[in-house]
């Protein structure tokens, strides 16, 4: 499908700190916004692929300049708020494990976001929808965990803490070398400052990844991201979704089901992803399980900081 130039008329630009790219240049760069849906990178709506010269922010021929994802979505109400967060956070952050925002284009009832193109799409696709012969090997899974931990640690240790808030397996994109890049900052928020221990907020995002104190009381800290990270880690270990109603009742909730097995080396092997066919270092798997248990603590103060989790995984990845 395509979006005609008539359906997106020119409008005033938002007051946003990011590079504005002209509509006509994006139209040329994407061959009139030709639909592209192979990789699952789109965050909000209609998704096209194109080529941009990053220096001049003009269209370039395919194979030249920078490959980009062009994500088009309607602006209105809460979406406008999400949009501004997405742009302002992503444009501020420059980190190898956070997807790069090249710029944006504002057109009356639409906003067009332009990201670097990430060819292999999201982790959800590779872990749960790929065929058996496309199984992510252990080394790739640990690398993904390291890269995601680096991104979250960077956010938490920024000049003031930033909480991703909605981190889940679909927010991890994989490039051509299986480097992981964190995306989707539409629900991100600044963390507590001064004497405040937490941010009180409405519960949003995928609840099956959420920390118990956030679900119960809306108390948000960086430790909520730590909890979410480890739910994804358990998905990587087991090859199971965090919530799967196709499973027997006692196995639907991955964390509740997996916790007892994570405690001992002998029982851990029973829940490891059968697609790995036993091809993983058992000592490393147990180390990952041990850190997972710490991060799944019901008490946020007992969970390690993301930077501490990162140290453990970087040692495994070295």
Q: What is the mean pLDDT of each run of 10 residues along the chain (318 residues)?
A: 39 60 94 72 67 94 93 79 87 94 87 93 89 80 97 94 95 95 93 74 84 92 97 98 96 97 95 96 97 97 98 89
> For residues 65 and 22, is the Cβ–Cβ distance under 8 A?
no
Q: Which two tokens stand for residue 298?
A: 């019901």
Residue found by looking up tokens 């007992």 in the block: 302
Q: What is the pLDDT, as a whole number, of residue 257?
A: 98
d(CA 165, CA 278): 34
- pTM score of the predicted model: 0.90
Q: Around 56, how many Cα atoms within 13 Å sit in the side-chain half-sphere?
A: 9
Q: Around 158, how many Cα atoms within 13 Å sit in the side-chain half-sphere?
A: 21
**Domains in the chain, start-ordered, CATH in brackets?**
5-116 (3.30.200.20), 123-317 (1.10.510.10)
Q: What is the pLDDT, as a whole number, of residue 12?
A: 38
Q: What is the pLDDT, as a whole number, of residue 41?
A: 52
Q: What is the pLDDT, as a whole number, of residue 317?
A: 78
> For residues 256 and 245, is the Cβ–Cβ distance under 8 A?
no
Q: What is the pLDDT, as a whole number, of residue 11?
A: 38
> Could you give the angle at the alpha carbon of 85 between the alpha carbons of 192 and 109, nearest 5°?
155
């Amino acid at each position: 499908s395509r979006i005609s130039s008539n359906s997106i008329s020119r409008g005033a630009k938002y007051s946003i700190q990011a590079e504005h790219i002209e509509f006509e240049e994006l139209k040329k760069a994407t061959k009139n916004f030709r639909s592209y849906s192979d990789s699952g990178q789109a965050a909000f709506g209609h998704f096209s692929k194109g080529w941009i010269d990053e220096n001049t922010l003009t269209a370039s021929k395919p194979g030249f300049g920078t490959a980009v994802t062009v994500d088009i979505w309607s602006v209105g109400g809460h979406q406008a708020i999400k949009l501004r967060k997405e742009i302002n956070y992503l444009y501020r952050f420059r980190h190898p494990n956070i997807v790069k925002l090249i710029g944006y284009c504002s057109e009356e009832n639409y906003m067009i976001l332009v990201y670097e193109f990430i060819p292999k799409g999201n982790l959800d696709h590779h872990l749960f929808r790929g065929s058996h012969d496309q199984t992510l090997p252990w080394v790739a899974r640990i690398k993904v965990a390291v890269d995601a931990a680096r991104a979250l640690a960077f956010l938490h240790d920024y000049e003031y803490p930033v909480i991703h808030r909605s981190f889940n397996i679909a927010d991890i994109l994989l490039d051509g070398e299986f480097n992981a890049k964190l995306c989707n900052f539409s629900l991100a928020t600044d963390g507590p400052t001064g004497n405040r221990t937490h941010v009180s907020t409405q519960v949003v995002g995928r609840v099956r990844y959420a920390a118990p104190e956030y679900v119960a009381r809306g108390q948000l800290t960086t430790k909520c991201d730590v909890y979410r990270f480890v739910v994804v880690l358990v998905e990587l270990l087991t090859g199971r979704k965090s919530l799967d109603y196709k499973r027997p009742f006692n196995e639907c909730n991955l964390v509740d089901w997996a916790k007892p097995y994570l405690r001992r080396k002998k029982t851990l092997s029973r829940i490891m992803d059968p697609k790995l066919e036993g091809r993983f270092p058992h000592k490393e798997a147990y180390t990952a399980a041990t850190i997972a248990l710490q991060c799944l603590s019901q008490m946020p103060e007992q969970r390690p900081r993301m930077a501490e989790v990162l140290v453990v995984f970087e040692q495994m990845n070295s």
